Chains A and B, each alone.
Chain A
Amino acid sequence: MQPTILLGTRKGLIAYHQSKSRWEVENVSFEGQPVSIAYADPRNGTWWACLDHGHWGVKLHRSKDRGANWEEVPAPAYPEGEEVKDGVPATTRYIWAMMHGGRHNGSKLWLGTDPGGLFRSDDGGDSFQLVESLWNHPTRKTGWFGGGRDLPGIHSIVLDPRNEDHIHIGISCAGVFETTDGGRNWEIRNKGLRADFLPDPETSVGHDPHILVAAPSDPDTLWQQNHCGIFRSSDGAASWQEVSQKEGPARFGFAIAVAGDDPGQAWVAPADSDGNRTAIKGALCICRTDDGGKTWKECRKGLPQQNCFDIVYRHALVSSGDSLAFGTTTGNLFFSPDRGDTWETLNNYLPMVYSVQFTN
């Protein structure tokens, strides 16, 4: 297990570190500022803070000494004249995803934003450029729309460790897109998904994958917690199969995590329906499947089982080895050392948690 948990919260970046089986706060940075994503680059240990200043716009900072010192770098910016749709200028409203660009080119980084632009850096994050091939995709202006946020946003960037030019992204609302040539061309990968909120639920574009992840041990197995259920693909997103429970809680939610050593083991954090978006019957549970989504087990031991309203946002449930962690909308942080069988509370008094990441 990696011994650090990095949190992006509504009131700052917070890092927990475990030593001698105790979790302690190692660092608090940007206190009071919304951190949409806190990201640690596994290649070099650089920490990134994507800030969402209410008054001053979206900002980007990095630290090469675990949060002791931070350096601001230019935030991604849309070129002059670009529009979300006709008459609506495109400006960076939120950074919703960050991913390193692979180990062969240590300077490459990807950012996903609201209103729907993917950005790429080739200089370690000193500068970012809009990926125009995706921005100019013929479906964007007419087929993408807001989900979770008012305008379309890219919240998932999934890099294939076998081939760094092979990337899947998740967009709310548009769906899953794939490039196999480093971002020059993009294909739609929504076959088998369902969009119950549209007149045509089997539309090619307009789906709402809340989060998209790939199994580290088999990158052709992808999972998504979608607005309309849980879906799995075993063919690199060429087709999707629903694996939601018909009656049980594993259906609606935002987050999903996959085991590092088993493409068939995954966890979701169920919420009570699109309409309510609260914990189901006032009780928190994480659901785990060990068989690729055929069956789901409810993990509740150590989690609050009454008077609970928490839900778990899309970037706030993660796994590392046997360990799991998740943060909630009401500022609770939970840790499991045994793949969800038991849970301990690390904090009940955090700000709303937007992102959680295990790192070294």
Chain B
Amino acid sequence: MDIAQICLQLGPVSASGEGPLYGQIVAALRREIGAGRLEAGMMLPSVRALAEGLMVSVITVKRAYEELEREGLLSTRQGLGTFVSMQGHERARAQAEIAIRRAFHDVTAIAKTARLSEAKLVSWLRDAFRTGET
């Protein structure tokens, strides 16, 4: 895959973004793998190439790759490169589901405190899902 294209997919990362730079790369890789836009078995750019493309330090990219290797989304084969692992897509989706359930838990807690009815909460969720507003 073209380096410019994958940088468009993952970047930009910046100090003004959410969380540390490596975390922004981790989040973008999770999102792209989870959505299937980076497919299982696909080779990712080398740490140095991605660092140059995203204009961050080599250590930042290395740290992002290592974190996702630990989570099983990526796998590195010595001398060959870093790849999207075979179970990467499922694992990323499972992570997304956990994140969604956690967010629902928080939303429900706020709704209960505010004495909001379940029906109202569900209808708001439906509206949000349809308009896609974030």
* Bind each other: no
Residues of B within 8 A of A (CB): none
